[in-house]
Structure 1
Amino acid sequence: MVDIKASGASGNHNRGRMLISCPDRPGIVAAVSKFLSGYGANIVQSDQYTMDPEGGMFFIRIAFDLTDLENRQEKLKQDFAEVAAEFSMEWSLSLASRRKRLAIFVSKEDHCLLELLWHWRAGDLDADIAMVISNHPDMESLVESFGIPYYHIPVTADTKAEVEKRHLELMKDQVDLVILARYMQIIPPSFIERYHNRIINIHHSFLPAFVGAKPYAQAQNRGVKLIGATAHYVTEELDGGPIIEQDVQRVSHRDNVDDLKRIGRHIERTVLARAVSLHTEDRILVHQNKTVVFSK
């Protein structure tokens, strides 16, 4: 890949991001703040949410600056494990300077792919696109004009296992997040397990309405007055994973299926781009089949 923005594009090399979820109880924020303060860290942003204050769950995202964080991160993780154990935390620490690497899967529709490519080229997507993978050759020249590798891997009913193996070989040690930008293939369970909560799909309806194939036709037949799009993490349940981002637009009885598709393409591309940005900036915590999304 030709990395046209790699050097320093993520900004502060001393900035860390912590995502924490745990059973709610007094003292969580104080304990985390005391720990970071003891390291000499400066908290620059803190967002928290309590789900059901009576015996529920607590979620927090903390951004902090710490001198020489890249070299100190492993020791920080080791020491914080004691705090995490005391509060039964599930937690992660990421460095803002380490841009996440994306693999975009696409079929024949180009609008969601183009939106991500434009955001990346403009420097608005804090990530690197490692590759684009498609079951069709249609967008090879487009993608390669951005300096990004394009892999055409056809899929048939008889080659699904072989194709999955090829996908995983290509992405090994190169990809943090998989994006299904209108990739019209069912993802195998073993692939989903490998990238648990790291596969984002765009579905062209306002879920949970109109799951599965031809949602615009379903919507038109039902006479809906709003259509939408949903970005969600992929699970084995078709279009049933934790929802990250959604949007809608008003339509009328005068709109046929082609009209709905045209209107919907704009919603799809913006919803997917927002969801990818939220993930790459470590703003999402998954709890069961829900997400807690800390907005910018």
Structure 2
Amino acid sequence: MDNNHWILTAQCPSRLGTIDAVTGLLYNNQHYITELHSFDDSHSNQFFIRAQFRANASFDEVAFRQEFSVKAEQFDMQWQLRATADKPKIVIMVSKFDHCLNDLLYKHRIGQLSIEIPAIISNHPDLESLAQWHGIPYYHLPVSAETKPAQEAKVMQIIKDVDAELVVLARYMQVLSPQLCQHLEGWAINIHHSLLPGFKGAKPYHQAYEKGVKTVGATAHYINDDLDEGPIIAQGIDSVDHAYYPEDLVAKGRDIERVTLSRAVRYHVEQRVFLNGQRTVVFAD
């Protein structure tokens, strides 16, 4: 879409007139709503709305922001306005497994993910040639227990230097420190297999094979200080049976991981995800 298309998102305490506060203003200014989602959470008493709209020919972003800020203040709304043509900057962190990274790079290259990737960070050198082929700077930052604080300081500096809006852990096989988790909470996405917490540690798919699992899947979530327990954005699942050997389960799991992670990234950059305490509200398309 061109710069004439915008996304307006807002959340606020549940109150009468919240939908009209958004749609009424758009209508009064003759902006055409192309997609609309809203949800009122009766448990948290929070209201969430996402409106994608085609602005009229005389659209003035500054004037619109000023007008809507007055309306938003009446409802105690937290809100964002973004052109659909904007491409948020994303830093990808990865170790040796390349399936999720490959998928993100491919969808970025063909325009399916409207993002910029100014940096790829890895604790291994294995995937540098892949980054170079895409013309993306690759930062090899080895890590050990002794060097972890210094390594993570470099990670945070790169993220700051490129002005990243999102960090994606595309199978980055390192446990982040509590300090880095707290710094990235709410704007970093991780992916892991959905066999947790039943099959922890090394070779989870081999453990699952021994128990005769009938489904495998993946979970994409925001990181926080609780390992693999952050607010969930997207999940994928598929059936398996007795004919699946451990290597087949691994292949199936990797395929689900890459699809689930790219979906979660897209939902985030399209502003379809709202944090609601330790849960998420996700307006899937």
TM-score, normalised to structure 2's length?
A: 0.90
- Residue of 89, 111, 121 corresponding to 2:109: 121
Cα deviation, residue 48, structure 1:
1.2
Mapped contact 2:184–2:223 kept (Cα < 8 A): no
Counterpart residue number, 2:205: 216
Secondary structure class of the residue paired with 1:80: helix
| 2:239 counterpart of 1:283 | no
Cα distance, 1:236–1:218 mapped onto 2, change above 3 Å: farther
Mapped contact 1:50–1:56 kept (Cα < 8 A): yes
Mapped contact 1:205–1:216 kept (Cα < 8 A): no
Cα deviation, residue 72, structure 1:
4.1
Runs of 4+ residues deviating >6 angstroms: none
Counterpart residue number, 1:166: 154
The one-letter amino acid of 1:198's match is W
RMSD of the TM alignment (CA)?
A: 2.3
Mapped contact 2:189–2:223 kept (Cα < 8 A): yes
Distance in 2 separating the partners of 1:221 and 1:288: 37
Cα deviation, residue 96, structure 1:
1.5
Counterpart residue number, 1:18: 8
Cα distance, 1:72–1:191 mapped onto 2, change above 3 Å: farther
The one-letter amino acid of 1:157's match is A
Cα deviation, residue 195, structure 1:
2.8
- Residue of 37, 44, 47 corresponding to 2:34: 44
Mapped contact 1:211–1:239 kept (Cα < 8 A): no
Mapped contact 2:216–2:240 kept (Cα < 8 A): yes
Cα deviation, residue 285, structure 1:
1.1
Alignment of 1:173-252 (within 5 A): 173-205=162-194, 210=199, 214-252=203-241
The one-letter amino acid of 2:99's match is H
Distance in 1 separating the partners of 2:23 and 2:109: 37
Distance in 1 separating the partners of 2:56 and 2:176: 42
Deviates more, 1:31-40 or 1:112-121: 31-40
Q: In structure 2, list runs of 5 or more residues that go unmatched.
A: none
CA shift digits 1:155-188 (9 cap, x unpaired): 1101111111111211214211111110001122
The one-letter amino acid of 2:49's match is I
Cα deviation, residue 254, structure 1:
4.1
Distance in 1 separating the partners of 2:6 and 2:277: 25
- Residue of 58, 79, 86 corresponding to 1:91: 79
Distance in 2 separating the partners of 1:285 and 1:294: 9
Counterpart residue number, 1:7: none
CA shift digits 1:84-113 (9 cap, x unpaired): 232232322222222011111110101111
CA shift digits 1:184-232 (9 cap, x unpaired): 0112233233333111111012566546654324423433210111111
| 2:125 counterpart of 1:137 | yes
Counterpart residue number, 1:4: none
Cα distance, 1:242–1:45 mapped onto 2, change above 3 Å: same
Mapped contact 2:21–2:72 kept (Cα < 8 A): no
Q: In structure 1, list runs of 5 or more residues that go unmatched.
A: 1-10
Distance in 2 separating the partners of 1:210 and 1:75: 54
Mapped contact 1:206–1:230 kept (Cα < 8 A): no
Distance in 2 separating the partners of 1:225 and 1:171: 40
Distance in 2 separating the partners of 1:274 and 1:193: 24
Distance in 2 separating the partners of 1:265 and 1:179: 16
Secondary structure class of the residue paired with 2:190: strand
Deviates more, 1:220-229 or 1:123-132: 220-229
- Percentage of pairs with the same residue: 42
